[in-house]
Amino acid sequence: MKLIKSAALVAASSLITMTAQAGTLEDVQARGELNCVVTTGLAGFAAPDENGRWEGFDVGFCRAVAAAVLGDGEKVKFIPSTGKTRFTLLNSGDGDILFRNTTETLSRDVDLKLTFLPINYYDGQGFLVRKSLGISSATELDGASVCIQTGTTTELNLADYFRVNGMNYEPVTIETNEEGIGNYSGNRCDAYTTDASGLASTRAALEDPSAHMILPEIISKEPLGGAVRHGDDAWADIGKWVVNAIIIAEELGITQANAGEMAMEAGDNPSVNRLLGTEGNMGEMLGLDNQWALRAIQAGGNYAELFDNNIGPDTPLALERGLNASWRNGGILYAAPIR
Amino acid sequence: MNEISLPRQNVVSRVWNDKEARSVIVQIVTVVLVFGFFAYLIRNAAINLEAIGKGYSFDFLTQPSNYDISQHFIEYDSRSSHLRAMTVGIINTLLVAVAGLALATVLGFFLGVLRLSRNWLVNKLAYVYIEYTRNVPLLLHILLIHGVIVHTLPVPKQAINLSDAAFLTNRGFFTPKPIFEPLFWIVGGLIVAGLLFSLWFTRYAKKVQDRTGNHYPVFWINLGAIVGIPLIMYFIMGTPITWDTPELKGFNFKGGMVLRPEFIALWLALSLYTAAFIGEIVRAGIIAVSRGQTEASYALGINRGRTLSLVVIPQALRVIVPPLTSQYLNLTKNSSLAIAIGYMDIVATIGGISLNQTGREMECMTIVLLLYLCMSLVISAAMNWYNDRIKLVER
Amino acid sequence: MDRKTYKPGEHPDLPPPSNIIGPAAWIRENLFSSPANVVMTILVVWFLYKILPPAIDWLFIDAAYTGENRDDCKAQGSGACWAFIDERMRLFTYGFYPIEERWRVNLSFGLLIIATAAVLFDNFPYRKYGLYFAAAFPFIAGWLLIGGAGLTPVPTHKFGGFLLTLVIGITGIAASLPIGIVLALGRQSKLPVVRLFCILFIEYIRGVPLIALLFVASTMLSYFLPPGTSFDLLLRVLIMVTLFASAYMAEVIRGGLQALPAGQFEAADAMGLKYWASMRLVVLPQALKISIPGIVNTFIGLYKDTTLVLIIGLLDPLGVGRASLADTKWTGLAYEVYLFVAIFFFVSCFAMARYSLYLENKLQTGHK
């Protein structure tokens, strides 16, 4: 009986977790695990593979933060969330940080009490339609049925777009991506709308991707970024600079493979030295050690590697860098310098 | 020292052994515990909300909702307020619930009768249907029926054409919409008058029957009053209704009325599922009426149909109504599964998109819970009233 | 035909005329007894003829049992593609439970079978110990599945598929019965305050849909916990499902309590039994026996309601199926998934219903 009782106690205590009321950084370090809120599954961004290991672009950022803070990119607990639960999970303390292709908006920042990290993906809402419809522009969609996944800014953009252009439409709103795709593939809707990155992944999952096309119009700005709870600036800084470090690593040509070598000793480039901790005390300023950025980069590579491995041209999503190219290559990805 | 020494008891155990006092103590402790528990929860909520700087206010209800809803029976667009979106949601919930209750009741009684059929095949078929339906989750039925509608019905361009007036597609069932001309209101008035007449006449016929035993053909006379006379008047005045028929324009049908696939799927799934339960209730109710009642009625020379309607069903109803009430409540509450296929009911509007857009979980969920509670109370009250009316008057 | 004459009393027992026994008579009696019956029979036979052969073709004959993807299946026949279900079987069973730890799930399933058998069948060998074991089973299984104390902890968000259904279903069933009994007694209590609270609780829970309660659990329950505490999502769901089922259970048991003649309560009082003793020894055994069909129906309802967790993002079998449908290799095989999940639920719920019938008959003490 004693054994059973203690087993029950252990089981119960692992279900209820108490967190000290210290800063998030201390909490995470004490726990030895980072709780990262991600989607329930969006191919390329965050989805469990056949063995239940989470993979994806957003997941890569979670692992980078965990590596910087805890020294190990595997010490992450992924908390899958729907559009409805994601902010609650963060606000209630279940999650420490959120990387869930989330659009930064004023009301989320101010009213939902979030602090956004730097943008890690510049996206915009588009439309996926059948080629057989014979249309080439979203302005021809008057009277169409449009499938939308709720819980995002998508339905707001859609309502605004059709209103401004004086067009009618029938919204078919659905909670989950799978059901949305089911509706679209069953021809319940003429068009499927979501962020262009999501459209690419949706199109790739259709039976015959070549029968569908993404219309050229992008009807909204969707700067996607991570977020943390309002009010813990030290923790927000860590998230912010890990994202910046990943972006800067690409600019400086530091990759997952060569980062360790370059961090062996200080080189000629002071930017590289500061980033990899061979010069200055950037890590200490953040409350971490000086190898924080090195570990973050080693966890999943720099921005280009994260992009190419998860959503780039060689993956099923086949997304181009476009706006997300480094500012040196004509994109708008431009991180504040580490100095 | 010579007084009889009672077993030594301290005050506490003496009070505890007093039945009255004990019940008071238990009740006070219960009140303190329950209120303490709630106070604790509210305190936690206050601290937690304070910590992240969120308040508790319903101001957001007057803000524009910024999203569109496809099925709305009142004026609504994306500039309307969240409050209006909620109203649209309530109407949609009520619509599917009422339509579901009606269809489930009809189908349920039908199934109950089939289950009692002496035809072996019919009986077993009804049995298989009931067991299959009852033992598979409702959510699965909803998804399955929705999937069948969306994937097997044709797209608008190849719509199933019902004599150029109605069209069946996977975007919905499009029917002509009546547009009433001024003269029609005379017909409408006649229908109301017919309804009032039939209410009075039913009572009158019952009174006459109780007194003299004479039986009027109540059903046919009422039918004539409610439908027949207005129908004749309608043709005399030259059919004062014009029909707005749906037409294929661009992507979809325009004009007319439409039942969306989400509504049809939810409605059918709710009705078919609940009908299986009602069927069993009806069967049990009819079996509960003792066979002697039927035989006595036959012996009095009352025919089969009248036996059923005058002897068996009134008695069976007493057994049927209480469990039927809980099935009605279940159906209404189950309509909240609408969210799985995107039918915009209460949970999908105020508890769904509005909640997501405003981030007011507490306020939105409070509203949702209260709305369902109200609906449940109304249904319970109505069914209790009906139950009181039909229940056996004990002497 | 020879016409024999018999002496009185020596007439042999002749078989009944052929038109009242045998298959032909049965068919006439049950299928063609009246014109309406004939019409109905013909309709049903026509209906079955239209439905059954294509269904069997699709399910078995034209179905594909092996294959790597959808196209493989379609190449083999126009029927169902069971290869898909086969490939996803492990996901359907374990969800994302770590592969190297899955023996723990298997062990729990095995122990579950023993525990259930011990509870259900009274000729189970060493039944007394079996019952002790069954009482301890939820804790043992909890420890096995969640881990800790020597086992690698497995976070609950990795639970999925049938494992999740069984975890929620069994916890709900095991916890809602005692809570339901307490609530039912509370509702019948002579103490007005206790009665009022019980009525409020029961009617409140019964007045709102489970899905709304699950949304409460997933979106706002955290706000009501002490600052800095957090409950695992699965635990929150378990709490809500249990509360929901116990309110219904309370009503079922109240029905049983009310059906008991007042004499039973009075007799227990007259014996000098205290409240709890009279309930335990006299009232509840009889009330529960009367309520068995209702209790089992509540269990079945709870078990079916576990599918609703899909809507708040937990992956039950239906959720696993729908997530699998998003896989490019297998898109568009929704009917296979739905049918497979439907069969799973049908088998478990139908078994429960049949067992309830069996138990009802067994406990029938012949007072009818």
Q: What is the pLDDT of residues A16-50, one digit of tens each?
A: 655 445 688 988 998 888 999 988 777 788 887 76
Question: Which residue out of B59, B251, B355 would a mutagenesis test of the A interface target, given it has the greatest number of A Cβ atoms within 10 Å?
Answer: B251
Question: pLDDT by residue (tens digit) across B95-134?
Answer: 999 999 999 999 999 999 888 888 888 889 999 999 999 9
pLDDT at C23: 77
Mean pLDDT of all residues in C311-322:
83
Q: Do C345 and B135 touch (CB under 8 A)?
A: yes
Report CB contact under 8 Å: C223, B45: yes
- State residue B1's pLDDT score: 46
Helix (H, G, I), strand (E, B) or coil at B76: coil
Give the pLDDT of residue C368. Answer: 43
CA distance to partner chain B, nearest, from residue C223 (Å): 5
- Once rounded to an integer, what is the mean pLDDT over residues B146-165? 84
Please tell me which residue of chain C has the smallest CA distance to B375: C207
Residue of C108, C218, C125 whose CA lies nearest to C162: C108
CA–CA distances in Å: residue A202 to residues A56, A152, A184, C319: 15, 16, 10, 18
* Residue A174 near residue A148, CB atoms below 8 Å: yes
Q: How far apart are CA A202 and CA A247, in angstroms?
A: 27
Alpha-helical segments (H) within C260-333: 262-270, 275-278, 284-305, 317-325
The strand pairing partners of C7, in sequence order, are none
What's the CA gap between B47 and C231, in Å, rounded? Answer: 17
Please state, in angstroms and rounded to a whole number, the distance separating the CA atoms of residues C128 and A112.
56
Query: Residue A171 phi/psi, 5° resolution?
Result: -80, 135
Interchain CB distance below 8 Å, A143 and B359: no
Contact B187, B237 (CB under 8 A): yes
Q: Strand pairing partners for A326?
A: A333
Of the partner residues C48, C191, C226, the one whose CB lies closest to the CB of residue B44: C226
| 8 A C-beta contact, residue A155 and residue A173 | yes
Instruction: Answer whether C207 sits within 8 Å of B377, measured CB to CB.
Output: yes
Give C45-59 as a DSSP string: HHHHHHHHHHHHIII
The pLDDT value given to residue A50: 66
Integer Cα distance of B241 and B231 in angstroms: 12
- State the first-to-last Cα distance of chain C, in angstroms, to the nearest integer: 52
Q: Please, are residues B80 and B64 in contact by the beta-carbon 8 Å criterion?
A: yes
Q: Which two tokens stand for residue A222?
A: 């969707």
B143-B144-B150 Cα angle (round to 5): 85
Residues from chain B contacting residue C219 (CB–CB below 8 Å): 355, 361, 365
Q: Kindly give, in sequence order, each residue whose CB lies less than 8 Å from that of residue A333, ignoring residues fewer than 6 positions away.
A: A122, A247, A303, A323, A324, A325, A326, A327
Find, among B56, B51, B364, the residue nearest to A90 by Cα: B51
Of B170, B250, B341, the CB nearest to A187: B170
Confidence (pLDDT) at C250: 93
pLDDT of residue B74: 86
The Cα C32–Cα B120 span in angstroms is: 10
> C312 to chain B nearest CA, in Å?
10
- pLDDT, position B246: 83
Based on DSSP, count helices (H) and strands (E) in chain C, helices before strands. 15, 1
- Taking alpha carbons only, the member of C168, C209, C101 closest to residue C348 is C168
- The Cα A318–Cα A313 span in angstroms is 4
The model's pLDDT over B191-240, given as tens digits with 9 standing for 90+, comes to 899 889 888 988 888 888 888 877 778 888 888 888 888 888 888 877 77
Both tokens of B135, joined, read 């033992």
Confirm if C240 and B365 have CB atoms less than 8 A apart: no
**Mean pLDDT across B328-350:** 90
Radius of gyration, CA atoms only, chain C: 28
What H or E segment, with its residue span, contains residue A174?
strand A169-174
Q: Reply yes or no on whether the pLDDT at B391 is more than 80.
A: no
- For B281, B329, C259, the CA distances from B322, given in Å and listed in that order, are 10, 11, 15
Q: A56 at the B interface (CB within 8 A)?
A: no
Neighbour tally for A210: CB within 10 Å: 8
Mutate to test the interface with A, among C143, C168, C333 (most CBs of A within 10 A): C143
Q: What are phi and psi of A100, to 5 degrees?
A: -145, 70
Question: Residue B184 has what pLDDT?
Answer: 78
Distances (CA, A) of B291 to A114, B225, B311, C34: 71, 37, 11, 21
Q: What is the pLDDT of residue C8?
A: 81
Is the pTM of the predicted complex or chain greater than 0.90?
no
Q: Which residue has better confidence, A177 or B34?
A: B34
pLDDT at C273: 85
Predicted ipTM?
Answer: 0.86
Q: What is the CA radius of gyration of chain B?
A: 29
Q: At residue B86, does pLDDT exceed 90?
A: yes
pLDDT of residue B36: 93
The set of chains that have 3 or more CB pairs under 8 A with B is A, C
Q: How confident is the model at residue B4 (pLDDT cuts 50, 70, 90)?
A: low
DSSP state of A335: P
Q: Distance between CA B43 and CA C179 in Å, rounded?
A: 26
A268 CB-contact burial (10 Å; exposed 0-12 / middle 13-18 / buried 19+): exposed
Using alpha carbons, list the distances in angstroms from residue C359 to B277, C115, C347.
21, 17, 18
User: What is the model's pLDDT at position A209?
Assistant: 84
Asked if the model's pLDDT at residue B395 lies above 60, the reply is no
Mind telling me how many Å the CA of C166 is from chain A's nearest CA?
A: 17
Q: Is the pLDDT of residue B351 over 80?
A: yes
Q: Are A151 and B356 a contacting pair at CB < 8 A?
A: yes
| Length of chain A as a residue count | 339
pLDDT class of C285 with cuts at 50, 70, 90: confident
Gap between the Cα atoms of B257 and A182, Å rounded? 25
Tell me what pLDDT residue A10 has.
53
- Cβ–Cβ under 8 Å, residues A236 and A228: yes
Helix (H, G, I), strand (E, B) or coil at A102: strand
Gap from C286 CA to chain B (nearest CA, Å): 22
Interface of A with C in 302-321 (CB under 8 A): 316
Question: Which residues, 6+ apart, have CB-to-CB distance to A237 below 8 Å?
Answer: A286
Asked if A158's CB is within 8 angstroms of B68's CB, the reply is yes
- The long-range contacts involving B45-50, CB below 8 angstroms and separated by at least 24 positions, are B45/B362, B45/C223, B45/C224, B47/C227, B48/A92, B48/C222, B48/C223, B48/C224, B48/C225, B48/C227, B49/B362, B49/C223
Q: Which of A230, A235, A228, A231 is nearest to A27 (CA)?
A: A235
* Chain A partners (3+ C-beta pairs within 8 A): B, C
Mean pLDDT of A203-210: 81
pLDDT score for B263: 93
State the Cα–Cα distance between residues B237 and B230, nearest whole angstrom: 10
CA distance A20 to A187: 52
Distance CA A119, CA A115 (A): 12
Instruction: Look at residue C17 and tell me whether its pLDDT is greater than 80.
Output: no
d(CA B53, CA A232): 13
Q: How far is CA C132 from CA C107, C110, C178, C280, in A?
A: 18, 16, 17, 19
Stretch among A116-120, A189-193, B54-58 having the lowest mean pLDDT:
B54-58
CB spacing of A88 vs C235 below 8 angstroms: no
Q: Which residues pair with A247 in a beta bridge?
A: none
**Closest Cβ opposite residue B251 in set A143, A151, A160:** A143
CB contact under 8 A, A113 and B356: no
CB under 8 Å to B229, separation ≥6 — which residues?
A: B190, B194
Extended strands (E) in A114-168: 114-123, 125-130, 144-149
Reported as a single tens digit per residue, the pLDDT across C237-265 is 999 999 999 999 998 998 888 888 888 88
Task: Look at B150 and A152 and tell me if their CB atoms are within 8 Å.
Answer: no
- Separation of alpha carbons B202 and B222, rounded Å: 8
> Which of A47-51, B185-189, B349-353, B380-384 is predicted with the least confidence, judged by mean pLDDT?
A47-51
Name every chain C residue with its beta carbon within 8 A of the beta carbon of A178: 322-323, 325-326
Could you list the beta-strand ranges (E) of chain C: 229-231
C163, C97 Cβ separation under 8 angstroms: yes
**pLDDT category, B336, cuts 50, 70, 90?**
very high
User: Would you state the structure tokens that stand for residue B76, as one six-digit string?
Assistant: 């609504």
> Which residues from chain B sit within 8 angstroms of residue A158, using beta carbons?
68
Q: Residues, chain B, total? A: 395
CB contact at 8 A, B270 and B304: no
Q: State both tokens at A139.
A: 């302005």
Q: Mean pLDDT lowest for which of A197-206, B140-149, B186-195, C102-111? A: A197-206
Residue C326 CB partners (closer than 8 Å, separation 6+): A41, A43, A177, A178, A181, A205
